[in-house]
Amino acid sequence: MSGMDVVIMAAGKGTRMKSRTPKVLHTLGGVPLIEHVIKVSKSLGARRQVVVVGHEASKVQAALAHHEDLMFALQEPQLGTGHALQSAAAHLPVLPNAGCTLVLSGDVPLIGLNTLQALVAASKEQHLTLLTLKTSSPQGYGRIVRTPNANRQVLGIVEEKDASPQERLIEEIYVGVMVIPNAHLHAWLAALNNNNAQQEYYLTDLVAMAVAAKLEVHTHACLDPNEVAGVNDPAQLAHLERAYQRNVAGQLMHAGARLADPARIDVRGEVVVGQDVEIDVGCVFEGRVVLGDGVKIGAHCVVSNAHLSADVVVKPFTHIQGESSAHLITVGEAAQLGPYARLRAGTVLGAEVHIGNFVEIKNSTLGVGSKANHLAYLGDSVVGDRVNVGAGSITANYDGANKHKTVIEDDVHVGSNSVLVAPVTIARGGTVGAGSVISKDTQAGALTLTRAKAASLAHWSRPQKKPTNPSSG
Ligand code: UD1
Ligand code: CA
């Protein structure tokens, strides 16, 4: 398909979203609407991709700056879809017979690759071709007007606001996606006018022009209404989000994952699963998540940018917060996390590590079999194998200005409620007595503790409450 260019229209205001965010930057599956369209468009192998921006153009353009191969056309002011294409025309080839242009909308996120391939195939890159949908609720859409005879040839598209009561009964609609032969593109765009109910330049008027020039107009019918549904308001966005999530849940189950309820999972990114993965209800996955064979995720976990090795068990309400798909949190085989654990960026856990309730780990590595089961904080630490961190113990890694490192070597036991004041090293096999504040490096194998001597007063009588006077009320 070397001869195809794509124009993605994204200049409209999106008033009904009632939002400060431009419509095409609202997210679906964790990704801006227009990114879904760009992804499909890229898979088509187009020659050029032009995004028409207008309303909040700089915000939209900045959000798409990471795509090096996109071209932007500014449409200012926005005078309709035909005017949007006129604004993009400078980027499109002017040679006769130079392939075709596929027009997409930035706010129709679920448009499928197969559908677009079929549409372009139907156009043979040389016929004006419309993507259509049969629907019993055509309100608001352009209607496909055909000849009354048996040929049912396309005569034009009439917009809702310009349609006669008779035309409004037509249940075949234009969904906003068309293929235009480049041989006619520039001449047709130049001939558009705005003599219509909305005083806009309608791209849909190209159809009547093609018919007048006795050229064939083809249609390709899409069978899935969600694929061609546009996002105009928050309710439509939520509706499409559910459709998208049902789809992703279906793919996960197809890959063998067992979901407690496919309607109660949210994937805002990409989840890759091994065999025998189980996911309970209410979990949210963000960024890139890889779940090895036999991983079990309990209810209501949030897992972002993480690689969980085989047989990891994540108990309910655990939050795994990797910062980006380039920096995954990694968890070794058969580790157990939660309930109510929190792993932050830079966490690397070895096999069979246990992280229990209300334990926070940040930028730290824990070796094989180490455990922090209750109410602990490990930050900027390197923890060896078989270490046990007692309940309520923390690393004091921040002195108010800088972060410092804590090293806890193999086989150390840190007693409950201890503070390890970084920078500090607890040497191999050492024990820290409960309730200690350790600010100097300790000896291997030693018991180290800082603890006030207990004082005990015999026969101590506690203060008594004065009897209350009932009349004082
Ligand atoms: C358009 C079609 C209508 C079709 C419908 C499908 C026209 C005249 N009508 O309707 O037949 O049924 O799509 O959804 O084409 N845009 C710009 N610049 C503008 C106007 C719009 O870039 O000046 C962009 C919008 O951001 C949006 C897309 O074009 O991505 C469609 O615009 P929208 O106003 O939603 O379409 P309609 O004119 O209602
Ligand atoms: Ca419009």
Give pLDDT tens digits for 16-36.
Answer: 999 999 999 999 999 999 999
- Looking up tokens 């007595």, which residue turns up? 433
Q: What is the residue with the minimal CA distance to atom 1 of ligand 1?
A: 176
Check whether 163 has a pLDDT greater than 60.
Answer: yes
345 neighbors 365 (Cβ within 8 angstroms): no
From 79, 81, 228, the mutation candidate for ligand 1 (largest count of ligand atoms within 8 A of CB) is 81
372 neighbors 342 (Cβ within 8 angstroms): no
349 neighbors 332 (Cβ within 8 angstroms): yes
16 alpha carbon, closest ligand: 1
87 lines ligand 1 (CB under 6 A): no
User: 80 C-alpha vs ligand 2 centroid, how far in Å?
Assistant: 6
Q: For the chain, what are the domain ranges? A: 4-228, 234-448
Our answer to whether residue 374 is catalytic in this structure is: yes
174 lines ligand 1 (CB under 6 A): yes
- Residue 105 CA: nearest ligand 1 atom is 30
105 lines ligand 1 (CB under 6 A): yes
Whole-number CA gyration radius for the chain: 32
> In three state form, how does the secondary structure of the chain look?
CCCEEEEEEECCCCHHHCCCCCHHHCEECCEEHHHHHHHHHHHCCCCEEEEEEECEHHHHHHHCCCCCCEEEEECCCCCCHHHHHHHHHHHCCCCCCCCEEEEEECCCCCCCHHHHHHHHHHHCCCCEEEEEEECCCCCCCEEEEECCCCCCCEEEEECHHHCCCCHHHCCEEEEEEEEEEHHHHHHHHHCCCCCCCCCCCCHHHHHHHHHHCCCCEEEEECCCHHHHCCCCCHHHHHHHHHHHHHHHHHHHHHCCCEECCCCCEEEEEEEEECCCCEECCCEEEEEEEEECCCCEECCCCEEEEEEECCCCEECCCCEEECCECCECEEECCCCEECCCCEECCCCEECCCCEEEECCEEECCEECCCCEEEECCEEECEEECCCCEECCCCEEECECCCCECCEEECCCCEECCCCEEECCEEECCCCEECCCCEECCCCCCCCEECCCCCCCCCCCCCCCCCCCCCHHHC
pLDDT class of 1 with cuts at 50, 70, 90: very low
Mean pLDDT of the chain, nearest integer:
96
The pLDDT of residue 95 is 78
- Rounded to 10 deg, the angle between the 33-43 and 113-123 helix axes is 50
116 lines ligand 1 (CB under 6 A): no
Q: CATH for 4-228, among 3.40.50.300, 1.10.1660.10, 3.90.550.10, 1.10.8.10?
A: 3.90.550.10
* CA pair distance 230, 173, nearest whole angstrom: 13
User: 80 C-alpha vs ligand 1 centroid, how far in Å?
Assistant: 7
435 neighbors 415 (Cβ within 8 angstroms): yes
- For residue 328, give Cα distances in angstroms to 38, 151, 269, 355: 25, 58, 13, 18
The pLDDT of residue 261 is 98
The pLDDT of residue 93 is 86
pTM of the model: 0.92
For 234-448, CATH gives 2.160.10.10
How far from the centroid of its chain's Cα atoms is residue 288's Cα? 10
- Residue 8 CA: nearest ligand 1 atom is 30
User: 90 C-alpha vs ligand 1 centroid, how far in Å?
Assistant: 20
275-279: list long-range contacts, CB under 8 Å, 24+ apart. Answer: 279/252
Check whether 211 has a pLDDT greater than 70.
Answer: yes
106 lines ligand 1 (CB under 6 A): yes
- Residue 79 CA: nearest ligand 1 atom is 23
182 neighbors 5 (Cβ within 8 angstroms): yes
Mean pLDDT of 264-279: 98
Mean pLDDT of 295-315: 98
Nearest to 13 by CA among 69, 53, 40, 50: 53
User: 112 C-alpha vs ligand 1 centroid, how far in Å?
Assistant: 19
Q: What is the residue with the minimal CA distance to atom 16 of ligand 1?
A: 12
Q: What is the residue with the minimal CA distance to atom 29 of ligand 1?
A: 9
Query: Which one is catalytic: 374, 404, 413, 459?
Result: 374
Q: In terms of pLDDT, which residue wins out, 350 or 1?
A: 350
Check whether 471 has a pLDDT greater than 80.
Answer: no
Q: What is the residue with the minimal CA distance to atom 34 of ligand 1?
A: 12
pLDDT digits (tens, 9 = 90+) for 448-461: 999 999 999 999 99
User: 202 C-alpha vs ligand 2 centroid, how far in Å?
Assistant: 9
- Residue 230 CA: nearest ligand 1 atom is 14
Q: What is the residue with the minimal CA distance to atom 19 of ligand 1?
A: 80
- Looking up tokens 């806890």, which residue turns up? 408
- Residue 106 CA: nearest ligand 1 atom is 30
414 neighbors 432 (Cβ within 8 angstroms): yes
274 lines ligand 1 (CB under 6 A): no
pLDDT digits (tens, 9 = 90+) for 45-68: 999 999 999 999 999 999 999 999
11 lines ligand 1 (CB under 6 A): yes
Check whether 334 has a pLDDT greater than 70.
Answer: yes
The pLDDT of residue 94 is 85
* CA pair distance 329, 339, nearest whole angstrom: 18
* CA pair distance 189, 201, nearest whole angstrom: 9
User: 211 C-alpha vs ligand 1 centroid, how far in Å?
Assistant: 21
